[in-house]
Structure 1
Amino acid sequence: MAYYAEKDFFEDDELIELVTSILEGNLTLDWYRVDTPRLRAKPADPARGLTYEDCNLGPYGYDAIPEFVRDRYSMAARGSALVAKLPDLGYTINRRSDVWADNVVGLYEEAKARRWAPAVDIPWGELDTAADPLREAAMAQACTLLEEVALVAMEVPSRWVFSINQEFLELKSFLCAQMIDEARHVEACRKRALASGQGLGRASVSAEQALKELLTAETYPEASLGTNLLLGSFVLAMYRALGAVSKTRADRLLGTLSMQDVARSAAYGVAHMRYHLGHQPGKAVALADYLDRSEHTVLGIAGSPEFLEPLVLLAAGSREPGALARGAAFVRRWFTGALEEYLERCAAAGLGDRRERSRLPRLAATLAA
C-alpha cells in the first residue's frame, strides 16, 4: 500500500520560500539548537576503527534501548530530536527481547571485517575438473543443494527486517549482513557447480519443502530459532564436511570461508534465544514445541539424497564398495557430530537438554547401528 506525503512539495510555497531564503544566506539553525547530548565517539582500538561498541554512548547507544519501544515508530535516528508529523512506518516488532542478542554488535562488526569475495578469493584456476568427473559431479550436486539452502537463508531475514523497529538498528544491520553472507554463498556454490563442467544438479523436493517450513515461521523468535540455531548448526557442519573431503585449496576455502559466515548466524541464534528466554521465560514451552515440530526439517535437508549421496562419494573417492563403506562411515560420524553440536547449542541457549525429547538422537542412533 503506497504512502503519500501530506503535501506535494513542488506545490508547497512555504517550503520553496524557505529554501530560497536559506540559499540567500538566511539560516534558521533550528537543527543546531536541538537539546541532544554533545557526546564524542572515539575508537577504542585504532586498528579496528570506530565500531558500534564505541558509539554506545548515552541515549545514542544500544544500552539505552528499553524493553518496550512505545513512542518511536519513524525512521528517525536513535537519540535524535523528534518533531511533529514524522510518519509511522508500522513496525510490528517493538520489544527488545524479541530480537536482541548481547553479541549482535560484535557479530555485525565481524561480518564486515571478515568479508570475502567468491570471484577472487577462491582460486578457481587451481581446479582440475577433468581429473575426476565423478567427483566433480558430486561436488556440483552438493553445491546445487547448498545454493537452495542459501537462497532461503537469505530470504528469512528479509521477511522480518522491515517489521523490526528502527531503534534496533545494530540488529537490523546484522540481518542485512546475514543476507549479504548468504548471497555470497549462493554465488560461491553456483560458481563451483558451473566451474566443474558438470552444470547444476538436481533440485531436492524434501529439502525445499523443509526450507519453506522454516521460512514461513509465524514469529521472529521461531524464525531465528529455526534458521539460525537449528538449520545453522547443520549447514555449518555441511560446509565443514565439504572442507574436510576437499582435494583442492579452492574447495577447502569455499568450505571454510562459508563456515565462518554461518558460524556467526549460529552464534546469534544461541545468544538471541538466551536473551529472549532470559526476559520472557514463559516462551520456553512454545519454542520447545516449535523445535518438536520443526526438527524433522534437518532430515529433509541434510538427509536428502541430493546432498547425502554426493557427500558419501566425495568422502569415498570412488564407487568401489570398500571406499563407499568408508564414505558412509564418514557421513554417519558427520551427522552424529553435527547433532551433538546442535544439542549443545540448544542447552547453551536456555532450551534445556533435548536429548530425550528430540527425535534426532534416536534417528542418529538408528543410522549408527
Structure 2
Amino acid sequence: VVQVMTYLVENETAALLVPANLVPRVHPHYREVVGFLAVQMADEARHVEVFTRRIGLRGRSPGTSSRGGQASLATLVTERDPDVASFLLSVMGETSFLELLRFLQQHGPDPVTRAICRLAATDEVRHVAFAVGRLRRRGDPALLDRLASAVRAREAALRHTSGLDPNVFDALIVLASPTFDPPGVSVGFERVVELVGRMDRARRAMLVRLGYAPEQAAALSALHTRNFM
C-alpha cells in the first residue's frame, strides 16, 4: 500500500502543477474556467494530503520513485501549450488513472484505502469531463492533428526511459493477489494485466469522443506513457 500511495502522491502532485501553470494564462473574462481550474487544484492538493496521510498511517516512510516516472511527469509539468497540457494530463493520463483508482477501490486491503480511492475517483471524473468538453468545443480544425503530434513527441522523448517503477507494478500485483502462494500471485498478475487493458480501452473511448477514428484512437492510446499518467 505504501509503495502505491507514494506513486499516487507523485502523480497527483504533477496533476496539481499543470492547472496551476494554466491559470495565469487564462483571460480574467473566462472566470468560470479559472474557477474550475482552482477547484481542480484544490482537489489534487487534497488527494496529495490524503494519500500522504495513508502512507504514514502506521508510521511508515514513503516508498521509491523512479527516474522513468519522474521523466514522464516532467513532460506534463513543462508543457506550455494549454490544449496539449490539458489533453495529455486529463484525456490520456487521468482517464488511465481513473481505472487505477477503481482497481484500488476493489483490491485495497482496508476500508481507508478503498474509501480514499473511491472519493478521489469521483473528483477525477470531473477533471476528465471538463477537459474533454472544452477540447471538443475548441473549433480548431487543426487541433486533433496537433494533439496527435504531441502524443507522438512525448512517446519519442520517453522511449528510452524505464516507464512505470517496477516496485509499483509489483505492489499492484501483491494487492490484487488473493493469496501469496504462486497460484494466488499469478491471479494478481493477471488482474494487473487486465487493468492495463482497461486503461487502454478507456483512453480509446475518450479519444473517439474527441473526434478521432477508432483506428487512430487505438494507435495513439498505444503510444501513451507506461507510467500511466
Q: TM-score, normalised by structure 1?
A: 0.57
Q: Distance in 2 between matches of 1:172 and 1:272?
A: 13
Matched, 1:325 2:186: yes
Matched, 1:293 2:153: yes
Q: 131, 142, 146: which is aligned to 1:282?
A: 142
Q: Give the secondary-structure state (helix, strand or coil) at the position aligned to 1:293.
A: helix
Matched, 1:310 2:167: no
Matched, 1:352 2:213: yes
Q: 44, 68, 86: which is aligned to 1:206?
A: 68
Equivalent in the alignment of 2:201: 340
Matched, 1:187 2:49: yes
Q: Is the 8 A contact 1:229 1:266 kept in 2?
A: yes
**1:331-357 deviations in whole A, cap 9, x for unaligned?**
011110111011100110123323453
Give structure 2 stretches of 5+ with no counterpart. Answer: none
Q: How does 1:208-287 map to 2 (within 5 A)?
A: 208-276=70-138, 279-287=139-147
Report the Cα offset of residue 272 of structure 1.
1.8
Q: Structure 1's 250 and 302: CA in aligned 2 closer, same or farther, altered over 3 A?
A: farther
Q: Structure 1's 178 and 298: CA in aligned 2 closer, same or farther, altered over 3 A?
A: farther
Report the Cα offset of residue 186 of structure 1.
0.4
Report the Cα offset of residue 152 of structure 1.
0.7
Q: Is the 8 A contact 1:210 1:301 kept in 2?
A: no
Q: Is the 8 A contact 2:50 2:116 kept in 1?
A: yes
Q: Distance in 2 between matches of 1:265 and 1:214?
A: 15
Q: Is the 8 A contact 2:72 2:163 kept in 1?
A: no
Q: Structure 1's 346 and 356: CA in aligned 2 closer, same or farther, altered over 3 A?
A: closer
Q: Is the 8 A contact 1:355 1:361 kept in 2?
A: no
Q: Supply the AA of the counterpart residue of 1:327.
A: G
Q: Is the 8 A contact 1:295 1:360 kept in 2?
A: no
Equivalent in the alignment of 2:21: 159
Equivalent in the alignment of 1:22: none
Q: Distance in 2 between matches of 1:209 and 1:248?
A: 32
Give structure 1 stretches of 5+ with no counterpart. Answer: 1-138, 365-369
Q: Distance in 1 between matches of 2:224 and 2:81?
A: 28
Instruction: State the Cα RMSD in Å.
Output: 2.5
Report the Cα offset of residue 237 of structure 1.
1.3
Q: Supply the AA of the counterpart residue of 2:31.
A: L
Report the Cα offset of residue 302 of structure 1.
7.6
Q: Distance in 1 between matches of 2:204 and 2:194?
A: 15
Q: Distance in 1 between matches of 2:197 and 2:135?
A: 23
Q: Distance in 1 between matches of 2:84 and 2:130?
A: 13
Q: Is the 8 A contact 2:173 2:189 kept in 1?
A: yes
Runs of 4+ in 1 over 6 A off after TM superposition: 296-302, 361-364
Q: Is the 8 A contact 2:67 2:162 kept in 1?
A: no
Report the Cα offset of residue 268 of structure 1.
1.4
Equivalent in the alignment of 2:4: 142
Report the Cα offset of residue 292 of structure 1.
2.1
Q: Is the 8 A contact 2:13 2:48 kept in 1?
A: yes
Q: Is the 8 A contact 1:147 1:189 kept in 2?
A: yes
**1:71-107 deviations in whole A, cap 9, x for unaligned?**
xxxxxxxxxxxxxxxxxxxxxxxxxxxxxxxxxxxxx
Q: Supply the AA of the counterpart residue of 1:231.
A: G
Q: Is the 8 A contact 1:234 1:298 kept in 2?
A: no
Q: Which has the greater radius of gyration?
A: 1
Answer 1 or 2: which has greater helix percent.
Answer: 2
Q: Structure 1's 301 and 183: CA in aligned 2 closer, same or farther, altered over 3 A?
A: farther
Tell which deviates more after alignment, 289-298 or 153-162.
289-298
Q: Supply the AA of the counterpart residue of 1:329.
A: E
Q: Give the secondary-structure state (helix, strand or coil) at the position aligned to 1:218.
A: coil
Q: Supply the AA of the counterpart residue of 1:294.
A: R
Q: Percent identity?
A: 23
Q: Is the 8 A contact 1:243 1:255 kept in 2?
A: yes
Q: Distance in 2 between matches of 1:273 and 1:350?
A: 10
Report the Cα offset of residue 254 of structure 1.
0.9
- The count of corresponding residues between Structure 1 and Structure 2 is 224
Q: Distance in 1 between matches of 2:116 and 2:162?
A: 20
Equivalent in the alignment of 2:40: 178
Report the Cα offset of residue 288 of structure 1.
1.1
